[in-house]
Structure formats: C-alpha cells, structure tokens
Structure 1
Amino acid sequence: MSQAVFSVARLLVVVLFCVSGAQKLMNPAAVVSTVAGKGLPYPQVLASLTIAAELGLGLLIALGFYARAASVLLAGFTLATIVFFHNFWSMSGDAARLNQIQAMKNLSIVGGLLMIAAVGPGRFALNRR
C-alpha cells in the first residue's frame, strides 16, 4: 500500500510541471516573451530549456525513469524560478504578496522533489535508481 501511495505522490508532485510544459510547448513565443520581459539573456534558448525542464524532467519523474537525477535538476530549476520570476522581495503591494505565495509553493514543491531524489522513485517505476 505505501509503495502505491508513494507512486501516486510522485505523480502529483510533477503534474504541475507536465501540464505547464505541455502548454508552453503549444505557445513557445509566449515563453520567449516572458523570459525576455524579465531581462534575461538568450530568451529563446532559456524558453526552450524551460519547456524541456518542465515537460521532459516532469515526465521522467512521472515514469520513474532516472527520477533521482531528474528530481534534483527540476528542484534546481524550480529554485531558479523563485529568484528570477517570483522575487517578491523586490516588489510591493499585491504583486509582492502574490509572488511570495508562488515562491512558497515552489519551495514546497522543491521539498517533494528532494524527497524523490533521496528515496528514489519507488517500486512502481521504469527503473528504481
């Protein structure tokens, strides 16, 4: 029972990334615009990496294929989104409050990803590394 619950939890941690990555794949120009709007260099490259990280790493974790490595990489990506996109400490008013919530949500997701990295994908996975 606990292995089944862990597998469901592994899926729930990454469903956000898989859905978001698929949506970004359907409209990459919007991702490029968002990245460029933050003043980051090479927006087309970063937009492609964003889509690859969310969709690719999310699917690897969901399938339990190299889930430990994918979880560490996706945790790093998620932390970077806090610094570059949800930097509430440099905002004020409603924007600061909204982005603080988003940053805290991302920190919680990082915790779940690091748990997967620590214990592996569980019994119901393509590989158990």
Structure 2
Amino acid sequence: MSNLILAVARILVVAIFLWSGFGKIMNPAGVAGAISGKGLPYPEILAYLTIAAELGLGLLIALGFFARSAAVLLALFTAATIVYFHNFWAMTGDAVRMNQIQAMKNVSIIGALLMIAAVGPGRFALNQR
C-alpha cells in the first residue's frame, strides 16, 4: 500500500511542473520575456531550459526513472524560482503577499521533492532504487 501511495504522491508533486511546462512550451517567447524582465542573461536559452526542467524532470519523477536525481535537480530549480521570481522581500504593496504565498508553496514543494530524493521512487517505478 505504501508503494502505491508513493507512486501517487510522485505524480501529484510534479503535476504542477508538468502543467506549467506544457503551458510554457506553447509560449516560449512569453517565458523568455518574463526571464528578461528579471534581468537574467540569455532569456531565450533559459526559457527552453525552464521548459526542459519542468517537463523533463517532472516526467522522470512521475515515471520513477532516475527520480532521486531528478527530484534534487527540480528542488534546486524551484529554489531558484523563489530567489528570482518570488523574492517578496524585495517587493512592495500587493505583490508582497502574493509572492510570499508563492514562495512558501515552493518551499513545500521542495520539501516533497527532497522526500522523494531521500526515499526513492518506490516499487512502482521504471527503475527502482
């Protein structure tokens, strides 16, 4: 039973990345614009790397294929989004509260990803470890 719960949990944790990545692949120019707006270099390249991270790593975790490594990488990616996109400590007005909530959501997701990295993908995975 716990292996089934772990498999469902893996899919639920990465559902947000798969959904977001699919949306981004439909508008990579918009993603590049958002990245450029934050002053980051090479926005077009970072846009495609973002799409690859969300879809690629998300899919690896969902399938349980190199899930531990993918979970660590996706946790690092998620932490970077807090620093560059949800940096509420440098904002004012309504943006503070909204981005604080987004940052805390990401902290929770990072926790779930680190649990996957710690315990592995479970029995229902393409490569069990």
Are residue 68 (structure 1) and residue 73 (structure 2) matched?
A: no
SS in 1 for 2:30: helix
Residue in 1 that maps onto 2:92 = 92
Q: Which amino acid aligns with 1:72?
A: V
Q: Any idea what the Cα deviations from partners look like across 1:43-99, whole Å, max 9, x if unmatched?
A: 011101100000000000000000000000000000000000000000112100000
Structure 2: how far apart are the matches of 1:117 and 1:128?
Answer: 12
Q: Any idea what the Cα deviations from partners look like across 1:19-45, whole Å, max 9, x if unmatched?
A: 100111111111011100111000011
Give RMSD over aligned pairs. Answer: 0.6
Residue in 2 that maps onto 1:30 = 30
Structure 1: how far apart are the matches of 2:25 and 2:38?
Answer: 20
1:1-129 maps to which residues of 2 (within 5 A)?
Answer: 1-129=1-129
Q: Which amino acid aligns with 2:3?
A: Q
Q: Which amino acid aligns with 2:93?
A: G
Structure 2: how far apart are the matches of 1:77 and 1:108?
Answer: 14
SS in 2 for 1:62: helix
Q: How many residue pairs get matched?
A: 129
Percent identical residues: 72
Deviation of the 1:12 alpha carbon: 0.3
Q: Specify every segment of 5 or more residues in structure 2 that has no aligned partner in the other structure, as ranges.
A: none
Structure 2: how far apart are the matches of 1:86 and 1:73?
Answer: 19
Q: Which amino acid aligns with 1:103?
A: A
TM-score by structure 2 length?
Answer: 0.98
Q: Specify every segment of 5 or more residues in structure 1 that has no aligned partner in the other structure, as ranges.
A: none
